Amino acid sequence: MRKFLIILLCVLPLLGCSKKWEWSVPLAVNSTEVDVPGNLAGHLYIPIYSTVRWNLSFEYDESGIQWLHPDITSGKGYNVCVRIEYDANPFPEERIAYAVIVPEDTSTGAETIRVRLKQPATK
| Alpha carbon distance 63, 41 (integer Å) | 19
Strand, coil or helix: 58: strand
Pick the CATH number of 22-119 from 3.30.2290.10, 2.60.40.10, 3.40.50.300, 2.170.130.10: 2.60.40.10
pTM: 0.79
C-alpha atoms less than 13 angstroms from C-alpha of 63 in its C-beta half-sphere: 11
Any idea where the domains of the chain sit in the sequence?
A: 22-119
pLDDT tens per residue across span 27-83: 999 999 999 998 899 999 999 999 999 999 999 988 889 999 999 999 998 889 999
